[in-house]
Structure 1
Amino acid sequence: MSTQIPEPETEAESEGAESETAPAETLPPAQQARLQRKAEERADREERAREEAEEEASSDENTYHLKVFRYDPEVKGKQEPRFDDFYVPFEKGMTVLDALIHARDTFDSSLTFRHSCRQAICGSDAFFINGSQRLGCKTQLSDLDEPVRVEPLPHAEVRKDLVVDMEHFFDQMESVEPFFQTNDLPDDELEEQRQSPENREKVKMSTRCIWCAACMSSCNIAAGDNEFLGPAAINKAYRFAMDEREGEDLKQHRLNIIEQEHGVWRCQTQFSCTNVCPKDIPLTKHIQELKREAVKSNLKFW
């Protein structure tokens, strides 16, 4: 049986319960004692039920134990960060996102997180799972040790539960002009702007970015420098700077963007972004290639 372990009563709640069950002073002593005894028996039953539910859930081989970060700044009593325990029924092929959806639909409808396609394409369900940035829809429960600890992405402002503010990340992406441009349009507007197979192969991996921000969250430089463009934005600049169809002038324009003080030169080649990328993009390699291109563009004789 799947269940959420009930929260222990707070001191205030316990006092409230006692005041509600306390006998009126006007009642005869025998009746007061009887009411007090019933209240104690009820408290004992509730405690035993809680312990039995916890023991049953924790010993059930068909359930997985989730510890989920909770925070709601708008609800009194939930404004302090905490972790809630959920025990969800396990089925083969179940992902962390599946487990979160079950916990929300079955135990607590206020549990808040982003998700959409459930196929590792939309990038909306990146979480900090067991100490690493991962996509909830791509991470199998069976690959994780219990309890499965699910937290919002680090280095981002938490809005509620597992939802973080993505505005800064999107601003950094937008700053590198993440769209195709060209100064060399064909005379015939119906003619294709052809790209060689070799050049397509060069930029192919960089096009796989799904804007999940896992790389940005894992980056120690981004954690300490809020203006750092970040791996995702630099990778997007790489995707177009290396596209032969844009031409040398636009390539130089993009290099100027990423050469700024908080651009590629801030990267310390720690590979954390590459390690967590759910699409296996060689982000660190792309950053290093852009550094080389920037050096070449500044050494005019190269």
Structure 2
Amino acid sequence: MPELPEVEALAAFLRERVVGRVVDRVEVAAISALKTFDPPVTSAAGRAVTGAGRRGKFLELALGDDLLLVTHLARAGWLHYRESFPATLPLKPGKGPIALRVRLDDGSGFDLTEAGTQKKLAVYLVRDPADVPGIAKLGPEPLTLSRAAFGDLLKAQNGQIKGVLRNQQIIAGIGNAYSDEILHAAKLSPFAMSTKLTDDQVDRLYEAMRAMLTDAIGRSVGQGSATLKSEKKGGMRVHGRTGQACPICGDTVREVSFADSSLQYCPTCQTGGKPLADRRLSKLLR
């Protein structure tokens, strides 16, 4: 799933490529992806692209001064920029991975696609970002938090720190991958309870969060949309590297599986050498 650094990079990419262009038309191929009906998607046509930004994991494209095209790429969604499209024929609904296409006045544009059978990519055309339910509920951005505010957020929760970091209503933008990386850098177990962290552990977690996200943004911004995924994967130390050697201590990276996700960690760096129990039948972190 694209997280804060990748969505930030996509916003920067769109600012460079499409700001100043005029929308020719928006074509919806997956009706289920479009979550709004007022204003109608046809109202995007003829509007200039005036900006691109990010809120949490949501990508925003400003159209004129009063409309926003907001996208949540979910787990398997992506943005594919095209210098030109091979055909001018409109998309056929329900055909292939393309959920939505934005054509611009110079023949360029981009497709929003989603792989797999679970279609969760969501697109909203709104006048106010608060009209998007997920945005209205977002917690603060992690890189805007002071150490004191971060500590207060953790104390207000009573859950495993992995789940707290991933909860978008607590902190916006961090998902499964970067929470693994942050916890590894902070030398903390993903199952550590947020309310029981010492001041030193909170300090380490705060500094790791800032360092890992800042580094990932630095590596991601400037990449084309076609290379962002490989850049993200190549920068990971433990996430997605089950069975490989930890780059810090050399121990074997291990995995805990859940019903619909998994986490990776290093026993030596994070759990005092003790392997965590596999919770394959659990549905979520509590």
Choose 1 or 2 for highest CA Rg: 1
The answer to whether TM tops 0.5 is no
Between Structure 1 and Structure 2, the one with more helix by share is 1
What is the TM-score of this pair, normalised by structure 2? Answer: 0.28
What is the TM-score of this pair, normalised by structure 1? Answer: 0.27
Between Structure 1 and Structure 2, the one with more strand by share is 2
Between the two structures, name the one with larger relative contact order (CA 8 Å, sep ≥ 6).
2
